[in-house]
Amino acid sequence: MSHKSSFMSKKAVDRTISGDNTFTHRLKCTYTRKNIMQRFSIFSLARNALSYHKNWQEHWRSPEPKPEYDVIIIGAGGHGLATAYYLAKEHGITNVCILDKGWLGGGNTGRNTTIIRSNYLQDESAAIYELSRSLYEGLSRELNYNIMFSPRGLINVCATEHEMRAFQRHAYANKLAGIETRMITPAEIKKMVPIIETGKNARYPILGGLYQPRGGVARHDAVAWGYARGADNLGVDIIQNCAVTGILQRRGRVVGVKTPKGEIKAKKVAIVTAGNTTMLTDMAGFKMPIESLGLQALVSEPIKPIIDVVVMAGTVHGYVSQSDKGELVIGGGADPYNNYAQRGGITSWEHTVRALVEIFPVFSRLNMMRHWGGIVDMTGDRSPIIGLTPVKGLFVNCGWGTGGFKAIPGSGFVFADTIANGRPHPIAAPFNMDRFREGRLIDESAAAAVAH
């Protein structure tokens, strides 16, 4: 695959983030603040302590919808909130409304395992995920909100010769893309993760691994709340518990949406609803090449710190990290059938936990504290769809599958640019729907390192 057509180098990504790229920065300073956001600092903490913390400002307003907006974003998850924030911050478009059928961040954003990495194989994937990872690193400072980003490192362990060859290929591709990853030995893995079983007692002895030092985790709720607070401060209306029941069109162009609060007009509408995307596009009159599946996860009871990196094990279908509260956050494969369930299943838990106990025998005595499921939207090549649709003025961002949380900042950044300018951002351009018709697939079928 060519390294010229759709791939942006690490330097180009850095320019995009720093604002040197004219596609994304030319309107950065044109917005007008609509609200005065209370700054968080050690001084504000001390000042509010004197009033027993009763005078903190609400993070965002709860306004009634206006009759018309420049842009309506359907979906108040991480991707939708980030899109609205960057529309206002980077492009000066503040007459924006975010609609959600439930509560802010109550979908997949609050139902994932919070892993952040960019060690993808294909050039196009590496560009957008590295942009996202890089944005995560400075997001707490930019939003003035602690998202608890922890670049603790991530290891994809290899238990077969096939995995060793596959991840060595990833390492080479990442090096060309300017992304820091490297192959490590079982001894290095054991040094980083003393509780792991690397030897003959394991069903699949570990042969090595792909290590990304700047991979890690962040607090999912804090990411959503930080973007919501930032977007609200720039004048964006966030309207919760307001489902979209129809897409209004006139002569092939979107003109607004129907809701229980009445019709709301808009020049542009963006669908960012993850596993529920097909329900919205059916309203608009066209089909999407995606399917929805349940992806399950669970957490253990909290324990003292025992693992300070993220470990992903593809052969046995499981991945694990430890939260700041001490819980082990555990994820596995997607359900083998289409569904919209947001609950766990005994079969999946058993498969995932049995596999991880063989790699981490110390886990065997832990109790499970809670479980959940997210609705992931899968494309045929397991890469997202970002861009225009057959309906003029209607945009879509979906198909992130198991990689949605790690992509939030980068996805919002390029999608906002796409909406603002009516054409794909260079990083988003390869992820259009036409690739399925033209055979330009961006194959990341093994990207999640779990069955999907």
CATH number at residue 45: 3.50.50.60
First to last CA, the chain: 24
Q: Is residue 3, in this structure, part of any structural domain at all?
A: no
Question: Is-contact 217 136, C-beta < 8 A?
Answer: no
Total domains in the chain come to: 2
Q: Are 202 and 340 contained in the same domain?
A: yes
Distances in Å between the Cα of 362 and the Cα atoms of 201, 316, 365 are 13, 17, 7
pLDDT of residue 4: 36
178: helix, coil or strand? coil
Structure tokens at 413: 């950044």
pLDDT of residue 451: 46
Q: Is residue 127, in this structure, part of any structural domain at all?
A: yes
pLDDT of residue 292: 92
Q: Average pLDDT, stretch 403-418?
A: 97
Q: Are 21 and 118 contained in the same domain?
A: yes
Structural domain range at position 336? 154-213+293-376
pLDDT of residue 315: 81
Within 93-217, residue ranges assigned H as helices are 123-137, 139-143, 161-176, 186-192
Least confident of 5-9, 145-149, 335-339, 393-397: 5-9
Sign of torsion over alpha carbons 269, 272, 381, 1:
positive
Residue 35 has pLDDT above 90, yes or no: no
Beta strand 262-271 with 290-300 is: unpaired
Q: Are 358 and 431 contained in the same domain?
A: no
Q: Answer with the one of 376, 396, 414 that is the final residue of a domain.
A: 376
Q: Are 113 and 167 contained in the same domain?
A: no
Please state the pTM of the whole predicted model: 0.90
pLDDT of residue 14: 53
Q: Are 140 and 224 contained in the same domain?
A: yes
Residue 435 has pLDDT above 70, yes or no: yes
Q: Are 189 and 125 contained in the same domain?
A: no
Q: Is residue 447, in this structure, part of any structural domain at all?
A: no
Question: Is-contact 354 298, C-beta < 8 A?
Answer: no
Q: Average pLDDT, stretch 382-410?
A: 96
pLDDT tens for residues 222-277?
999 999 999 999 999 999 999 999 999 999 999 999 999 999 999 999 999 998 99
Residue 282 has pLDDT above 50, yes or no: yes
Q: Is residue 274, in this structure, part of any structural domain at all?
A: yes
Q: Give the mean pLDDT of the chain.
A: 89
Q: Average pLDDT, stretch 342-350?
A: 77
Name the percent of the chain lying above pLDDT 70: 90
| CB within 8 Å of 364: residues ≥ 6 apart | 357
pLDDT of residue 28: 36
Q: Are 69 and 120 contained in the same domain?
A: yes
Compute the distance between CA of residue 272 and CA of residue 419 in angstroms, rounded to an integer.
Answer: 12
pLDDT of residue 175: 96
Q: Is residue 332, in this structure, part of any structural domain at all?
A: yes
Residue 31 has pLDDT above 60, yes or no: no
Q: Is residue 164, in this structure, part of any structural domain at all?
A: yes
Q: Average pLDDT, stretch 24-33?
A: 36
Q: Are 422 and 322 contained in the same domain?
A: no
Q: Are 361 and 402 contained in the same domain?
A: no
Most confident of 27-31, 225-229, 297-301, 444-448: 225-229
pLDDT of residue 294: 87
Q: Are 242 and 324 contained in the same domain?
A: no
Phi and psi, residue 348, nearest 5°? -65, -45
pLDDT tens for residues 89-112?
999 999 999 999 999 999 999 989
Compute the distance between CA of residue 215 and CA of residue 223 in angstroms, rounded to an integer.
Answer: 16
Question: Is-contact 234 88, C-beta < 8 A?
Answer: yes
Q: Are 194 and 318 contained in the same domain?
A: yes
Q: What is the CATH number of the domain that holds 351?
A: 3.30.9.10
Compute the distance between CA of residue 114 and CA of residue 69 in angstroms, rounded to an integer.
Answer: 32
Q: Average pLDDT, stretch 377-394?
A: 95
pLDDT tens for residues 127-184?
999 999 999 999 999 999 999 999 999 999 999 999 999 999 999 999 999 999 999 9
Most confident of 253-262, 358-367, 439-448: 253-262
Name the percent of the chain lying above pLDDT 90: 70
Side chain identity at 157, as an amino acid letter?
V
Distances in Å between the Cα of 249 and the Cα atoms of 28, 125, 253, 432, 439 are 31, 33, 5, 22, 30
Q: Is residue 354, in this structure, part of any structural domain at all?
A: yes
Q: Are 32 and 84 contained in the same domain?
A: yes
Q: Answer with the one of 376, 396, 421 that is the final residue of a domain.
A: 376
DSSP, residue by residue, 154-167: EEEEE-SHHHHHHH
Question: Is-contact 96 74, C-beta < 8 A?
Answer: no
Q: Answer with the one of 332, 352, 376 that is the final residue of a domain.
A: 376
pLDDT of residue 431: 97
Q: Is residue 5, in this structure, part of any structural domain at all?
A: no
The alpha carbon of 36 is separated from its chain's Cα centroid by a whole number of angstroms, namely 28
Sign of torsion over alpha carbons 197, 202, 204, 206:
positive
The alpha carbon of 2 is separated from its chain's Cα centroid by a whole number of angstroms, namely 26
The CA angle 171-113-428, to the nearest 5 degrees, is: 55
Band of pLDDT at residue 334, cut at 50, 70 and 90: confident
Residue 385 has pLDDT above 60, yes or no: yes
